[in-house]
Each structure stands twice: as structure tokens, then as C-alpha cells.
Amino acid sequence: MENNAFFISSLVIGRLAVSLAASEILLGKMLVMSSGNVKGFMCGWEVEGSSTTAGLVVIWWGLRGATVGIVGGLALGRVGGSEWGEVVVGSAVAGSVYWFSLCFVGDVTKVNGKSSQRCRNKKLVGERIEGMMGKMMVGGEENLQKQKQQKCADMLRNNNVVARIFQRQIQTPPPGTSVHCARRFYENLVPSFTIYDVECPDHSFRKFTDDGQYLISFSRNHQDLIVYRPTWLSYSYKQEDCHLPSRAKRFDSFFTQLYCVPLASSNEVICKDFFLYVITNQFGLFATSTAQIHDAPAIGGAIQGVPSIERITFHLLRLEDGVILDEKVFRNDFINLAHNMGVFLYDDLLAVVSLRYQTIYILQIRESGNLVDVRAIGAFCREDDELFLNSNMADKSKLHQSSGNHVNNGVHSNQLNSDNSFLSGIKQRLLSFIFQGIWSEETDKFQVGYLAFQFHVLISNSITLSEGPVLEEEILFPFSRLCRLDYLEGEVQFLDRHHLLIKFGSVDGGVSRSADHHASFFAVYNMETTEIVAFYQNSADELYLLFEQFCDHFYAMSRNSSYMNFISSHSNNIHALEQLRSIKYKASSLSQFVKKMLTSLPFSCQSLSPSPYFDQSLFRYDEKLISAADRHRPSTDHPIKFISRRQPHTLKFKIKPGPEAGSLDGRTKKVSSFLFHPFLPLALSIQQTLFLQPSVNIHFRG
């Protein structure tokens, strides 16, 4: 009976205590609302009136509610178990903390001379809090936010792939920079593993196509074309000392041979340094030629001192299946095919420079795979120039015959039709442009008239000014120089579909491998109007400024080649510009520096690799050992380091050509060439040593 009575009494006391606690809290809230004229919402109350009265009311009823709630919780704990007691005690403590916060949380201000208490909950508790409890709560929230921001910043500084993907999701790049921001992923996707001395066929590897679909190579006897397709990676590794299977060290693990096509005939060889790719139709343009004849006679209008090649053949292939679509043959001519120097491709237009006959042939590559003649620029500029001159020659011949002239008509006719009787059409356009410029600038009418007379004699009789009276050097300097430098140097490039950049110079400058010391000129020619638009000497500061500020315009990339649009130059990359200016400031002579820089004009077509690992905004490397240019570089036994631009002291990856242990004879001269895939972390390094087999290494992402 006593136990039952105790149980019943405890249960009654507990329930009464809980009811009293709830009523105490509710009564305190009602008193605050009635005395303080409260208006607000659940997350925050705005109390108008006496802040002291409201504070005392909250403290008193909060203490009472907490005390009664704790007592009731202990009573229920004796009867119903600890769970009920913990719930009630927790509710009471939470209620008291809430009411205490109404007193301490807030910002005491004066409104119209009266004190007011504002208790606002902004974010979690408040934006500004006075009192110890409020300050601790806000300080903790700020520290939490700072910790989150610090963790996010640390994660972004790690520059791992996950962090970059997260950054790409939460940040929007500035307009026009989305591709450049995406290319930063290549800082993490690098060719970090090397397979040395790969078992590969004995071929001469040329390059990857600009879209990365094909790898072009030639047989060692330069008779056959072999085309491979990259199959990407089949193996991976985690540690540096990981041992890959023996099959992984074979060339066919990375490339699949598509076909082998014989291009050259018995007396021809493939020009291994020449290849152009038509990306829209996946056509490849190759060239074969016979041996050079260095002492060939200058007949048929040819230039004296220029070698002759009996047969030069251009082959247009469809790289998908290796079918030869068309051929174009040049006989007894000389075209500089080394590194595509004498040929330039722009969209579907092809410019071929005949150095022996001083003619620029413009061809069009049709979608059907045909090479179609468009025009020839040289002796004649318009299509009907030859017809017009021949008709005039015939009229003059008839006039001489009717007048009883006893001059041998056959010889006279040959003199009129000989290539030395008149200046070529392109040279007449050039001299006329220079003369018009001097005419508009010169104020001395006597000298202008005498200049006009000499100009008339020059273009009519094709004599040099050294054979006639010598005028002032500052007036006739261009004429006297051009009479000795009236040759196309075998280099031309498209600026757009209508304008050509043509380089004029001496015969020695066009034939020799090093033309740095030969004087030369540059002319911009409009093919549609047959006019010279601009003319510069190779030491002109104006042309150099254009070259420095608008270098990308000289590349004249195809509109369909998206990868080629991101090649680093000093007009689109601040690091390349700083490097150029550093060389400029160190130069002893500004004029010699300008000449040296302008020797690269006109640019060779498709001679730069679009690989992102040559992007100077991402990586820094020694350009004396490796660069985007399609040229051989001196080889060393030390690896070539690629350093991050954004983290200047961080090594991203290394490229080491040649054997892993290095060469045994350090005195032997070695050269290396590098073939980088346009967008995959894949590269080939070929080290060539005299009298030894080339050493081929494959660098890929492990």
C-alpha cells in the first residue's frame, strides 16, 4: 500500500510540475507581451517600452519555469523511467535558455528619446548581439564561417581535379575565357610517365594531324606513307617504380596502323619535311620530288643561279582510307618544301611559290578532292595580261614588216617576248607603289620629274639604275635596291582570302638555308585588285610593331581549326611578350634585333604544335631545348622540366629524350624532335644520333 501510494503521489506531483512549468513559461510570455507590447514573429521579438521591465519579467518567469520543470522531470523519472525525466528536464532548460536569450540578445538603442529593446534573429541568432551570450554565439558562427571558407580555399589551392571541378561548378568564368579556364585542367593531366626505347617500326615520324586523329610517318627509304591512329592508353600505374607488362612497351599498344600507301616512284622520294592537313575534309597534302640539279641552265625564263628539280609532284590523299584523289606536277622547277616554307594553305586555298620562275600559283582544293588552278601571279597579274601583250606584239611585228624594216623579225620578236624585255607584272606593281609614295611626298618638282623619267626608262628597258645617272640616294634608294633584289625568296603566306604577304630578296637569300644576312623586303599584295597595299623593308620599325602587337594575324589560321587558335604568341600571352621584350632590351642594336625578329616572316604554314603543354600561360620550359615550333632541337642527357606558371616552384612533369641512362659518348652530337598530341597527354620524343638508330620514347599520363 505504501509503495502504491508513493507511486501515485509521485505521478501526480510530476504531472502537476510539468503542467506548472508549461503554465509558468506561457504566463511569462503573456506578461512580456502585455507589459512590453510585443510584436514580431517566431524567430525574433521586437519589444517596445522599458527594457529593464521586460528583462526582469523574462528572468523571473524563466527561473520559475526551469525550476518547476526540473522538479517535475525528477518526479517523472522516479515513476516512468529516466527517459521521461530527461525529456522534461531538457525541455525546461531549453525553455529557460530561450527566455534568457530574449533578455541578453539584442541591440539597445534610443528611439525618440525612449529606450527600446530589439531582439532580432538574423541568420541563426543575430547579426549584432550585446551581452556575453550573444557575443559568444556570433563569434562562434563567424569562426565557423571562416573555417569553412579556409577549407574551401585550401581545397582550391590544391589544384587537384576534384577541386577544379568544384570550382567550375560554383564559379562562372569571365566572358570569352571559358576555354582558357577549361585548359587549366591540363595542369593536372600531364604526361607523367615515360617508356624508354619503345619497340617501334623503323619509320620517320612526321607529326600528329591538327585534330589528333592521325599520326603521319614515312618509310626510311622515303617511298611509302604509313598512317597510324592513336588508340589512347591501355595501361596505368600508381608508383614511379611500377613495372608495366612487356606489351605496354610496344609501339602498337598506343597506335594502330591504318594503311601503307606507296607515294614516290622509282626516281622520286617523299619530302619528309612537308605535310599539310585540310581539317575540314581530312585531306592530306604530300610532296615527292626528284634530285636537285644545281648547275641547271636558265632557260625558258628561269632565274640564273636557282637549282632545278626535274619533277615535283603534290599528292592529295583522303586520310580516312588512303585513297589518292589528285596530283599536281611541276616540271623543271624549284619549290622550297622544307618545313612547308614554299607552300601555304588557308582554308581551301593553296599558294605555291616557284622560285625558279618567280611565280606564285594559287590553287583551290575542292570538296571532291580536286586541285584546281585559280591564278598565277608573277610575269602577269591578271588573267588577260598575256593575251593583251601578245596582241600588241603581233601589231608591232606587222608594223615593222610593212615599213620595210630590215631587222631580223624572228630575232626581234624573240627579244620582245623574252622575259628580260619587260619587268614582271608583280615587280611593276611594286615599283609603281613606291614611285607613287615618293611622288606624293617629294616637294622638289625637278627631282620628281627626273625620277619619273628614270622610272619610265627602268620599266621600259629593264635596265638597272647603276647603268644610268645616279640620283640622290634618299630618293632612289628603293629603286636601286629593288633592281638588285627583285626576286621572290620562295616564301609567301595568306593574310586572308584576298591578301598575300610576299617576301622579296636576292637569289642567295631564297636558296640558302640561312637568309638572315641578306637584305629583303615585304609587300602586301591584293589578289583581287592586283595592287600592292603596303611595302616594308626588313628593318622597318612600323612592321615590327605590327608583328609585336598583332602576331596572331600573321598566323592566318583556318577558321575550322579550333585547336590552332590557342597557340601562344607575344600578342596573346603576357609571358611570351615579357620574354620578347627582355630579348629586345638585351640586344646591342635595335635595327639588328628588328631584322632578326622579322626573318620569321612570312610564317611557315602549320609549323606550330597546338598542344596545351606549350601554352605559356600554363607551363614554363626551356625553349632552347623544346618549343611548339616544328624544328629539331639539340638534345641533352638531362630531362626537360615543365614548371607550373601559377605555382612557380612546382614541377608538373619532365620529358627526357633518348635512353633512360643517357648516352655513353657525351661528345656525339644529338638532336631531338618532339611530337605532341593536340589535346591528349601523349607525346613522342625521337632522339637522332649520327650513325645510330633513333631512340623513340613515349610519354603518357600514368
The 3-class secondary structure across 626-680, one letter per residue, is CCCECCCEECCCCCEEEEECCCCCCEEEEECCCCCCCCCCCCCCEEEEEEECCCC
Cell numbers 593536372 correspond to: 188
CA distances from 194 to 94, 198, 303, 653, 656 (A): 65, 10, 51, 10, 8
Question: Using CA atoms, how far apart are residues 486 and 201, in angstroms rounded to an integer?
Answer: 47
Closest CA to 590 of 551, 547, 548, 540: 540
Question: What is the rounded distance in angstroms from the CA atom of residue 125 to the CA atom of residue 67?
Answer: 25
pLDDT at 128 (0 to 100):
42
Mean pLDDT confidence for 670-694: 90
* Closest-CA residue to 119 (of 131, 132, 104, 133): 104
CA distance 699 to 640: 12
Going across the sheet that includes 359-365, the strands are 343-346, 349-354, 359-365, 371-377
CA 486 to chain centre: 37
Q: Tens digit of pLDDT for each residue in 617-646?
A: 899 999 999 999 988 898 888 899 999 988
pLDDT tens digits along 248-290: 778 888 999 999 999 998 789 999 999 999 988 899 999 999 9
Amino acid letter at 505?
A: G
Side chain identity at 481, as an amino acid letter?
A: R
Mean pLDDT computed over 146-167: 67
Among 365-374, 461-470, 509-518, whose mean pLDDT is lowest?
Answer: 461-470
Distance CA(10)–CA(72), nearest Å, equals 9
Integer Cα distance of 518 and 516 in angstroms: 6
Write out the E strands in 513-588.
Answer: 520-526, 531-537
- Is the bond preceding 174 in cis, omega lying within 30 degrees of 0? no
Mean of the per-residue pLDDT values for the chain? 74
Please say if the pLDDT value at position 372 is more than 60.
yes
Length of the chain: 702
Query: Residue 117 has what DSSP assignment?
Result: E
User: Is 330's pLDDT higher than 90?
Assistant: yes
Provide the residue type at 464 as one letter: T
Secondary structure, 3-state, 410-423? HHHHHHHHCCCCCC
526 or 453: which leads in pLDDT? 526
Share of the chain above pLDDT 70, in %: 61
E-only strand ranges, 106-202 = 107-111, 114-119, 193-195
* Cα–Cα–Cα angle for 263, 269, 272, rounded to 5 degrees: 90
Q: Is 57 helix (H, G, I), strand (E, B) or coil?
A: helix
Question: Which pLDDT value is given to residue 242?
Answer: 61
Please state the separation of Cα 383 from the chain's center in Å: 40
Query: What is the model's pTM?
Result: 0.70
pLDDT digits (tens, 9 = 90+) for 391-447: 766 665 555 555 444 434 333 333 334 444 456 778 888 888 877 777 777 666 566
Mean pLDDT of 448-477: 49
Question: How many helices and strands, by DSSP H and E, does the chain display?
Answer: 16, 30
For 289, residues 6+ apart whose C-beta sits below 8 A from its C-beta are: 268, 269, 271, 309, 311, 312, 313, 337
Percentage of residues in the chain having pLDDT higher than 90: 29
Residue 4 has pLDDT above 50, yes or no: yes
List Cα–Cα distances, 24 to 90, 105, 287, 336, 637, in angstroms: 16, 21, 100, 102, 88
Asked if pLDDT for residue 373 goes beyond 80, the answer is yes
Most confident option among 15-19, 179-183, 317-321, 567-571: 317-321
pLDDT at 407: 36
Residue 317: pLDDT over 80: yes
| Residue-level pLDDT at 551 | 87
Computed over its alpha carbons, how large is the radius of gyration of the chain?
A: 42
- What is the reported pLDDT for 232? 67
Q: What is the mean pLDDT of residues 666-677?
A: 87
Asked whether 293 and 307 are in contact (CB, 8 A), the reply is yes
Are 327 and 316 in contact by the 8 Å Cβ rule? The answer is yes
User: Which grid cell sits at 563?
Assistant: 585547336
- Does 84 score more than 70 pLDDT? no
CA 224 vs CA 14, 264, 278, 458: distances in Å: 101, 7, 20, 50
DSSP 205-272: EEEE-TTSS-EEEEETTS-EEEEEEE-------SSTT----GGGGBGGGTEEEEEEEE-S-TT-EE-T
In this predicted model, what pLDDT tens digit does every residue of 399-412 receive, in sequence order? 555 544 443 433 33
Q: 80 or 218, which is more confident?
A: 218
- Please give the DSSP secondary-structure letter assigned to residue 342: T
Q: Which long-range CB contacts under 8 A does 476-481 form with residues at least 24 apart?
A: 476/451, 478/434, 478/438, 479/431, 479/434, 479/454, 479/455, 481/519, 481/521
| pLDDT band of 130, cuts 50, 70, 90 | very low
